[in-house]
Structure 1
Amino acid sequence: MTRLVVLSLCIGMVSAASVMSAASAAGPAPSGTAGMLFNHEHLNNGSPGWNETGVRLNYTLAPRHAFELAVARTERFDLRDRQLSALYVAPLSRELTGSLEANASSTHRVLARNAFGTTLQYEFAPAWLVHGGVKTTRYDTVRVNQALLMLEHYFSNFSWAVAWRPAHAFGTNANSAEVRASYYYGDKNTIGVILAGGKEAANIGNAVTLTDLRSAAVVGRHWLNREWALNYGIGSTRQGDFYVRNGMTLGVQYAF
């Protein structure tokens, strides 16, 4: 397995699959990382900008065996939320890796009340992975059920992945798709492009609704030395006819 590190930018398409791939990276690595991340997005409809600050701790017990804890503070539409999230990844066999993820918000004004998901990753050929998973997200007024099917391949200093995410909410079925491409340079550095589109459930400030989504992002991680790294991202998301969000993410990460 080649290494994979993907920074999740706020584009409405987040899953455990990328973290599972990172946890399965071969070769020596620090046993843990701790980092802080700040994201700001500007909305073109005159609404206040979105801000998010988060702290994340990741600890690797062994290849393909890791856990992660994160705390985030989010501000959207002048409403503030807190969220706690956790992820556990473990090998089930030589080729199969499983994960469990959960998050909860005690305030849930714009964020989901809670979410639970599980994902399986299977390496069916060298450098070829298939991911499958399910996730349920509960808002105050609706529950969104989503599935994941993703194919991922590594070659030379590159990787690509394509994903399909069917969802069910409000008695309606919806679909979204995602394409990722990454380039790896140096020892642990990476830069990638993420394109996504389809329908997703989103809180537009006063109600949760299914909206059309189109997004593009460039994300990356650059290590300054053995202990310190910079995470970065820039992206744009069109949320139906409601608004366009243009944002930037910056973060610092320490390996121990």
Structure 2
Amino acid sequence: MMRTSFTLALPVWLLSSMALADVATAQRQVDAQQLGAAAATLEAQLARQPGDSEALYLLARVRAWQGQPEQSLPLYEQLLEREPDNADYLLGQGQALLWAGRPQAALVSLERAVEIAPDYADVQQAMQQARASLTSPITTTAPAASATTAQRRHELELSARQDWLDSGFDNWRSQRLDYASTQPEGLGWYGALLREQRFGEWDQGVEAGAVIALDDNWTLQPEVGYQPSPYFLPQWHADLRLQRRLSAGFLGAVSVRRTEYETTRVERLALSAERYWNAWRAGYTLNITDVANAGTPVGHDLALDYYYAGLSYAGLRLTIGEEEAVEEQQLITSDVRALSLQGRHWLDTRWAMTWEVGQHRQGDYYTRRWLQLGLRHAF
């Protein structure tokens, strides 16, 4: 009787040992950047044992790392059918959706994962990347093991703004056409055409910038702007921002900016910190500005955003301190107090409405209130 049991158990033990050996072999191939060989090893293992979740999970990640995130999604669906509350599977599915250029769908999986494992740092980081991909032109970064060519995402937004001023000043108007292109582990770029009316005059200009992922944590962002014949806007500006992703959902950044007007020059140092957690984002920026022949104003910007329904969000902005402003071609510095509400509401995966309302008090000169509306399209 014991011999019969041993005889029956031996094939099962051998199959289990072979499965472990093949998954271990595939993992070594991944570590050696041999992703094609690892995929072949795992496919052979799954042909023998279709129910091997460990092999299926590693193959799903390998497919995403190979730049085929869409091919990994059916594998994650199989895994989640077996274990719908597995945070690792939900994280992998969310990352694959993010690299496939579908950040809104990614957040659905990631929000489920954070409910199951609220302290899972990788989940929090992936959520931060997904949210940042649509709230700022920051690219997300794929794992170091990957050699992916993830899908590029393009976005176009047309917006208009009206400002109402008191103290006898004419109202302002502006229109913008913004474009941004991002890719999870690659180069991102953005640009804008703009026109503004103040003091009865119109100015037109262009802006352009790039986002360069230096590694998994460091990002460099240069930006320039130019107005060919300005009346009140600067002739040009140049900005360079260096950002570092930190643990526990934190970001740190430093940027330097030079703005050249017809009659003066403005240089600014900005130090920023951000924190993403659950459905929230908080940010603070210290602005230290050197205005040629006009002092060194210091200002503070505070931000708080709440995310809902994926990447839709509503946010609060507060500015206090000193700030420079253009008044009839003259640059002035005064105390400011500004408060605004803004947001972006996604109607579906491709179309979104953007909005902003606010009030800005420029010392004793004037109080300005504004409304901005925009339509955004992702493709």
State the TM-score, normalizing by the size of structure 1. 0.90
* Structure 1 residue identity aligned to 2:187: H
Partner of 1:148: 270
CA distance in 2, matches of 1:153, 1:24: 16
- Asked if 1:169 corresponds to 2:286, the answer is no
> Which residues of structure 2 form unaligned runs of 5+?
1-124, 143-149
Give the Cα–Cα distance (whole angstroms) in 2 for the partners of residues 194 and 246 of structure 1: 14
Partners of 1:45 and 1:207 in 2: CA distance: 17
Which residue of the partner structure matches residue 200 of structure 1? 323
Identity %: 23
Distance, in Å, in 2 between the alignment partners of 1:206 and 1:138 is: 13
TM-score (norm 2): 0.61
The Cα shift of 1:124 comes to 2.2
State the secondary structure of the residue aligned to 2:348: coil
Larger radius of gyration: 2
Q: Over residues 121-142 of structure 1, what are the superposed CA-to-partner deviations in whole Å (9 max), with x where a residue is unaligned?
A: 1012131110101000000111
1:94 paired residue number: 216
Contact 1:35 1:254 (8 Å CA) reproduced? yes
Query: Which aligned pairs between 1:115-154 and structure 2 lie closer than 5 A?
Result: 115-154=237-276
Matches within 5 A, 1:40-119: 40-63=162-185, 65-119=187-241
Structure 1: gaps (5+ residues):
8-17
One of 278, 295, 312 as aligned partner of 1:189: 312
Question: What is the distance in 2 between the residues matched to 1:29 and 1:211?
Answer: 46
Contact 2:346–2:352 under 8 Å retained in 1: yes
Instruction: Name the SS of the counterpart of 1:109 in structure 2.
Output: coil
Distance 1:191 1:23 in 2: 21
Alpha-carbon contact 1:146-1:166 (below 8 Å) kept:
yes
Instruction: Report the 3-state secondary structure (helix = DSSP H, G, I; strand = E; otherwise coil) of the residue aligned with 2:183.
Output: strand
Q: For this pair of structures, how many residues does the alignment match?
A: 244
More helix by share: 2
What does residue 238 of structure 1 align with? 361
Shift of 1:208: 1.1
Say whether the 8 Å CA contact 1:24–1:65 is kept in structure 2: no
CA distance in 2, matches of 1:208, 1:194: 24
In 1: Cα distance, 2:186 partner to 2:364 partner: 41
Q: Could you tell me which of 25, 31, 51 is aligned with 2:153?
A: 31
Instruction: Give the partner amino acid of 1:108.
Output: P
Taking the aligned partners of 2:175 and 2:199, their CA distance within structure 1 comes to 16
C-alpha RMSD of matched pairs (Å): 2.0
AA of the residue aligned to 2:321: G
Alpha-carbon distance in 2 for matches of 1:183, 1:36: 23
Amino acid at match of 1:19: S
Higher relative contact order (CA 8 A, sep 6+): 1
